Amino acid sequence: MYLDSTFLGLNITPSTQTFSDYVGSLDKNDYYRFTLNGRSSFNLSLSGMTANANVLLLNSSGQVLQSSVNTRRTAESIQATLDGGDYYIRVYPATRRASTNYTLGVSAVPTGYQSYTFKYTYGNGDYYTGSGYTSYGRYSQNQYINDTSANETGYYGSYQITGVTNYAGSPPQLNQVFVGSYYNTENSTSYTPSYGYGSSGLGSESGYLLSGNSDTYFGGKYYEADFNGYQSYTFKYSYGNGDYYTGSGYTSYGKYSQNQYINDTSANETGNYGSYQITGVTNYTGTTYDLNKVFVASYYNTENSTNYTPNSGYGSSGLGSEYGYLISANSDTYFGGKYYEADFNGYQSYTFKYSYGNGDYYTGSGYTSYGRYSQNQYINDTSANETGNYGSYQITGVTNYTGSTSQLNQVFVGSYYNTENSTNYTPNSGYGSNGLGSEYGYLISGNSDTYFGGKYYEADVTTSTRSFNIQFDYSFDTNGFFTSSRRAVLEAAASIWENIIQDEFANVPTGTNLHILNPQTNALVDFSSTYEIDDLAVFVGARNIDGAGGTLAEGGSSAWYYRGSSLDTRYNSSDNFEPWTGAISFDYSESWFFDATSNTSNDIPVESSDFLSVAVHELGHVLGISYNRKAFQNLVSGGYFIGANAKALNGGNPIPLSSDLSHVQDGFSIGNMGEAAMDPSITRGTRKLPNNLDIALLDDIGYQVNYI
């Protein structure tokens, strides 16, 4: 590019500067070079021409950024926003013959921002530092801005601008101020404030060193943070009778001192005047959300010479506010408030043997209150049991148990000896929740002859001809919904299906991984089985599903298996479904009728739902009558069930299903067979048990069945 540099190195200012010169045949180009230090609003005018002249704005590489090429002697102008850098102006005649004088006017007004850093000094040693954004040219490096009035310390503070950077962009933080650190001279500590911010430039910033601590408020060129830190401390509270507890807490700086004693001014529950001893103090300068909180870590109970880790022990308002329980929900173990002492001697775990008097007996274990039983103690029945004899309990072992147990008053039956066939059984179920005499169970699931317990009923064992077994697991029934009478209804429901199904599935061994929908919480849980599953185990519980008048219960199967394993084949077969686990949740908000006698139904109150019918229905889902199971799903087409056995009952026609494809259509009946147990609804005060259509559904998905 040919350069005829008439003038080099213009110093362009916000005020318009003018330069006069000539272009024509003897001087074809005038170039003006200028430099901008930052982003600026640039203005150029070319006037006073006697012939046509044009003007170009070029970057440092000679590329044209803008041009003005008006005709004749019309004045030229260029306006542009330019970043910092070198630029050129080219003035030239519009034609080869044009020659003219001209006047060039130029100006540039900076348009960017400044980002800056600062330090505010109170004058007493405290200071804080930060950063902010302001308009271009507002501050300069090492500029001092002195307060015109005294701040909270009595001194005249000042800002020092410690750094300035021109910022060409458009920051959303214009005029905002951020405090990054605060130096507190009282404890010679630098803090990163919990909060420090202003939105109207220097002097608007304020904040807290520690969240929620008003002493640590600062800012506004006035307020100084008054803060010496916290104390973390440990303590021991002694009742005066030998009991004491220890713990820790957080309080304001200087509140306590090592080995300080704080004596009660009134007697506590023991009749003594207790006292706190501050056993340790640490100055704590960091932030803590635990200010004034107290935590109890241990409790020594002199009544049984035992140290406890309390189930709970906490206070939120400093020493004296703490309280808790040594053992959850045991009111005797409540302590705290500088008054209440835990009255507790512990628990007993015990083993026992109950003898009927005819040779039958069962053994087990339980938990009760401290000192309730003694080794080899006998507790004799005061009335005859089912055998006509007066039975008795023998306490075969006692262990004082000082820890926490959620099994207080629970009884577990571990074995049953049946004299009729000289056989020891591990009961399918055997449990009580109200101490000795409340335990009951079944030797064989669903076999009412094997029911025992309550200090009365003896198991009458006969050889079962059934091959299929449904066993219930009550381990999720933590709210105790399933009393002995309610469990009997469940067993009756299982017995109905057991009499229909003739299969014998391979047993699932102890320790198998299980995948269960917890019927109490509706959450999926994984764990290992603790017993061998003979055919099918169903986990049951009760919860508020959707309140009275809504869904009565929810049931289905679930499984955990390795792909390609025998369990995978059992669960995902296209024509032979063999479950081994399932779950049923009943809504405890409903009005239920419980009756294990399946051959009577005229005694069901009209306002109640029949528990037996609903249990039978949900067991049907567990057994596989559900669109979620592949063997059933493969026989669903266009809203109908097309299994051969079910169609045969219906004259060769498919069976209509409800919209969820997991129930027989509501109200559907074949001839005088009546509604199926597996239709989606049941009228209060009525009972529905499986008919041949329900049985045919199982037949079609692979079960061996007996029809009615």
Question: 178-190: b or e for each residue (b if 16 or more CB lie within 10 Å)?
Answer: bbeebbbeeeeee
Is the model's pLDDT at 605 over the cut of 70?
yes
Q: Is residue 667 scored above 90 in pLDDT?
A: yes
Q: Is 488 helix (H, G, I), strand (E, B) or coil?
A: helix
DSSP state of 507: P
Beta strand 30-36 with 7-10 is parallel
Give the model's pLDDT for residue 537. 96
- Looking at the predicted structure, is the pLDDT value of residue 145 above 80? yes
Q: What is the DSSP letter of 653?
A: P
Q: Poorest-confidence range of 65-69, 215-219, 274-278, 640-644?
A: 215-219
* Total Cβ atoms within 10 A of residue 532: 14
Q: Tell me the DSSP string of 260-300.
A: -EEE-SS--TTSS--EEEEEEEEEE-S--S-TT-EEEEEEE
Per-residue model confidence (pLDDT) at position 5: 44
Ramachandran angles phi, psi of 570, nearest 5°: -60, -40
Q: Residue 54: what pLDDT?
A: 96
Predicted TM-score (pTM) of this structure: 0.40
- Say which range, 66-80, 261-275, 421-435, has the weakest mean pLDDT: 421-435
Compute the average pLDDT of residues 279-307. Answer: 84
Candidates 216, 221, 218, 275; CA nearest to 244 is: 275
At 172-209, the pLDDT tens digits run 778 899 999 999 887 777 889 989 999 999 999 999 98
Q: Are 38 and 136 contacting, i.e. CB atoms less than 8 angstroms apart?
A: yes
For 205-264, write each residue's pLDDT tens digit.
Answer: 999 987 767 778 999 889 998 776 788 999 999 999 999 999 999 988 778 999 999 999
414-470 residue pLDDT tens: 889 988 877 778 788 889 988 999 999 988 765 777 889 988 899 887 544 457 999
State the Cα–Cα distance between residues 243 and 406, nearest whole angstrom.
24
Which is nearest to 276 in space by CA: 239, 310, 230, 222? 239
The percent of residues above 70 in pLDDT, for the chain, comes to 94
What are the Cα distances from residue 370, in Å, to 42, 274, 367, 433? 94, 27, 9, 17
How far, in Å, CA of 505 to CA of 196, rounded?
70
Over residues 540-560, the mean pLDDT reads 92
Interatomic CA distance for residues 343 and 519, integer angstroms: 37
CA nearest 298: which of 363, 213, 377, 237? 237
Q: Is pLDDT larger for residue 122 or for residue 595? A: 122
**Do the strands 158-167 and 177-184 form a parallel or antiparallel pair, or are they unpaired?**
unpaired
Task: Name which residue leads in pLDDT, 107 or 303.
Answer: 107
Rounded to whole angstroms, the Cα distance separating 550 from 547 reads 6
Instruction: Count the neighbouring beta carbons within 10 Å of the beta carbon of residue 539.
Output: 24
Sorted by where each begins, the domain ranges of the chain are 7-110, 113-219, 230-336, 346-464, 467-708
Is residue 148 within 8 A of residue 188, CB to CB? The reply is no
- HSE-up (13 A, CA, CB side) for residue 663: 19
Q: In the CATH scheme, what is the code of domain 7-110?
A: 2.60.120.380
Mean pLDDT, the chain, integer: 89
Structure tokens at 347: 């628990």
Q: CA separation (Å) from 575 to 238, 563, 696, 705?
A: 72, 18, 14, 15
pLDDT in tens, 492-521: 899 899 989 989 999 999 999 999 999 999
